[in-house]
Structure 1
Amino acid sequence: MKAAHIYGVKDIQVKEAEVPALLPGTVKVKVSYAGICGSDMHEYLAGLYPIRKQPVLGHEFSGVVTEIGEGVTRVKVGDRVAVEPLIPCGRCANCRRGMANLCTNSQGYGYTLSGGFAEYAVVREENAFILPDSMPLELGALVEPTAVAVHAVRQSQLNLGDSVAVFGAGPIGLLLLQAVKAAGAGQIFVVEVSEERREKALELGATHAMNPVEVDAVKRIREMTNGGVDVAFDAAGVQATFESGIYAVRPGGEFKIISLWEKPVTFNPSVIVKTEAKISGSYAYNNLFPEVIQLLASGRIDGHAVITSMIALDDIVEQGFEQLTKDRKQCKILVDMNK
């Protein structure tokens, strides 16, 4: 089969790979769509993660089951599925605490096992989630990043009617915006440099969208909320948004970090001491795919709104990764495996 392999910084090659073996308890999926994630971009621009054990990329993907292994009972040939990439061990302390997303011995499709930027993927039956007939397969590739956003909102201290700031309006930021809106947020501020992304944020329900180059976004947010938002989310991962997020939160509020970071940041901890605000992280998701599938299928979260391009696998470098590095109008780029 043809697949995209990553070997280092700016070194992705589309070439032949072996189709993974169909084992008992697994299903073979003919991949339909796979999304380029921010974590994929991190490896492309900054180097491979230590967890990578094989080169075939792709952990946001959907497709059609073409073959089932011995012992598979829930999934059948012809089912349209979204694939959850995380494979927790089920035995470590975090798994036993119910935090499988923080498993210390986890594996994952697209990292330790062959991923979705390939014609075929073989996945465990429990990692294949059947999509409703009415749900397009391209939205199946949005389930994974949407789960990241929904988990962040669920992990936060957001309450009905609370004010929220989202820093960064890329795919995760726009999905976060929709997730906080679905959770009942009141005022929703989006801070983003790109005009196209700010416009999209307003279309999707942001009450305010600000360009931090043109206005003092933190000052404006604090003025409009009587001292700061209840919860701020960082979906950009740079020094400027980290600082802004901390100062945009009211005393006792929460600054929730979802983004991955290529560089460390610096800040004065006294800011947090004096306000008793909280800085917390959110990683991946935990048993959320069924709920997220329903949110996307029902339109409560509009996955189509974040898709800006669909490209062929052969074009994944130039029209995918390279395009995302230089074109701020791009948001979520999907690889259409049928192109």
Structure 2
Amino acid sequence: MRNEIWEWTGFNAMEPRVAERGDVGDGQVEVRIRAIGICGTDLHIMSGHANFAEPPLPLGHELAGVVERIGAGVTSWRIGDRVCIDPLTGCGKCGECLSGNKHRCPDSGEFGLQYPGGWQQYMIVPSANVYGLPDSISFAEATQAETLHCCLGGIDKLNIRIGEHAAVVGDGPTGLYFVQLLKAAGAGKVSLIGMRESRLQLGLALGADEAVNVSGASMQAPDAESQDIVIDAAGSESSLALCVNLLKRGGRLLLFGLPGKPISADVQTVVLKELSLLGTTNAPRVWPRVIRMMASGQVQVKPLLTHTYRFEEMDQAIEFARSQSDEAVKIIVSLEEDQEDEGGPR
């Protein structure tokens, strides 16, 4: 049984190859991948800016598909079930894993980061790592459950009170998701701060009350000490400084964007303003809530899915993501059988 794979092979390089499909072990399922989201982390790994793994390795951690084979002892899934995949794994035995916090496990890792990921037609994962999808959520939309679950876990840590003012710094996909989640959690005025006008306009369409462009000579300076909550979805030294400046005394700062290297922070201001700094990554327990929010329309994913490629065009999708980062919000690689014959971005 053949499995077609795209593999990261070196600095900004990838190649297709064919392998035999593996045996499905006890407690595992094989998923036939139907859609893959291209994440900025994939690009950072390929360029050497995120040292999660070494090539050769198939990347890909935003995944959805159909259960194809079932291992012994698995009773919760049936062949043909529509699912999305949680790429995070832990040892399953330590205190963190047993308490539902496998992302804090000393031996945790992710498919597509430390372990072979979903840039392939078929993928074997633990049965506990898949979540069922209602028919109302497309496979393309379902790839975003992975990103959304990280964002929702951060929102939970903020303990938002109805009517609080909040700002999101960073107009990438996570920033656009954070805007929606803040509104759903009861935040009052939500401001999106970024540098790309098209993204800022999309943020307004998705519920932001204000969009502030801080690029170039037209920079609009947000009011200092105006926010109860600020989320740093950019992950740079300048974005962190802006976040600290925006927060009221006693405010909360959620750190989500990854700088890729150590950066400086104005600790004196943090102390004197009595700010709370919260880091956030994965949130294993929120996956069912994410799927319910997507199905109900509380969070809109489809407006962010700007371009689609076929699986055989994976290298073109990655190159487009790398070269057209302003134009592409979220790129999807589709393995659906009813895709059109034309290639390229759609």
User: For the residues of structure 1 that align with 2:50 and 2:14, how far apart are their CA atoms?
Assistant: 11
Q: Would you say the 8 A contact 1:234–1:258 is kept in 2?
A: yes
Q: Given the alignment, which residue of 289, 292, 307 partners 1:291?
A: 289
Q: Which residue of 1 aligns with 2:109?
A: 107
User: For the residues of structure 2 that align with 1:262 and 1:108, how far apart are their CA atoms?
Assistant: 18
Q: Given the alignment, which residue of 313, 331, 342 partners 1:333?
A: 331
Q: Which residue of 1 aligns with 2:344?
A: none
User: For the residues of structure 1 that align with 2:316 and 2:284, how far apart are their CA atoms?
Assistant: 34
After superposition, residues 27-42 of structure 1 pair within 5 angstroms as: 27-42=29-44
User: For the residues of structure 1 that align with 2:305 and 2:248, how far apart are their CA atoms?
Assistant: 33
* TM superposition shift of 1:97: 5.0
User: For the residues of structure 2 that align with 1:13 and 1:26, how far apart are their CA atoms?
Assistant: 27
User: For the residues of structure 2 that align with 1:215 and 1:221, how far apart are their CA atoms?
Assistant: 16
After superposition, residues 146-295 of structure 1 pair within 5 angstroms as: 146-213=148-215, 214=217, 217=220, 219-222=221-224, 227-295=225-293
Equivalent AA in structure 2 for residue 269 of structure 1: V
Which TM-score applies when normalising by structure 1?
A: 0.92
Q: Deviations over 1:95-123 (max 9, x none)?
A: 35542221111132223443211111111
* TM superposition shift of 1:12: 2.1
Change (3 A) 1:7 1:273: same
Which TM-score applies when normalising by structure 2?
A: 0.90
Equivalent AA in structure 2 for residue 2 of structure 1: E
Q: How many residues align?
A: 334
Q: Would you say the 8 A contact 2:317–2:333 is kept in 1?
A: no
User: For the residues of structure 2 that align with 1:257 and 1:300, how far apart are their CA atoms?
Assistant: 23
Deviates more, 1:64-73 or 1:93-102: 93-102
Q: Would you say the 8 A contact 2:9–2:55 is kept in 1?
A: no
| CA RMSD of superposed structures (Å) | 1.9
Q: Which residue of 2 aligns with 1:81?
A: 83
Q: Given the alignment, which residue of 22, 47, 51 partners 1:45?
A: 47
Q: Would you say the 8 A contact 2:194–2:200 is kept in 1?
A: yes
Structure 1: which 5+ residue stretches go unaligned? none
Q: Per the alignment, in what secondary structure is the counterpart of residue 287 of structure 1?
A: helix
User: For the residues of structure 2 that align with 1:50 and 1:101, how far apart are their CA atoms?
Assistant: 15
Q: Which residue of 2 aligns with 1:313?
A: 311
Q: Per the alignment, in what secondary structure is the counterpart of residue 176 of structure 2?
A: helix
Runs (4+) of structure 1 exceeding 3 A deviation are 50-54, 214-217, 324-327
Change (3 A) 1:302 1:286: same
Deviates more, 1:96-105 or 1:279-288: 96-105
Q: Would you say the 8 A contact 2:8–2:55 is kept in 1?
A: no
User: For the residues of structure 2 that align with 1:277 and 1:216, how far apart are their CA atoms?
Assistant: 26
Q: Given the alignment, which residue of 11, 16, 39 partners 2:18?
A: 16
* TM superposition shift of 1:321: 4.4
Q: Would you say the 8 A contact 1:53–1:112 is kept in 2?
A: no
Q: Which residue of 2 aligns with 1:72?
A: 74
* TM superposition shift of 1:53: 8.3
Q: Per the alignment, in what secondary structure is the counterpart of residue 284 of structure 1?
A: coil
Equivalent AA in structure 2 for residue 258 of structure 1: F
Q: Would you say the 8 A contact 1:92–1:105 is kept in 2?
A: no
Q: Which residue of 1 aligns with 2:123?
A: 121
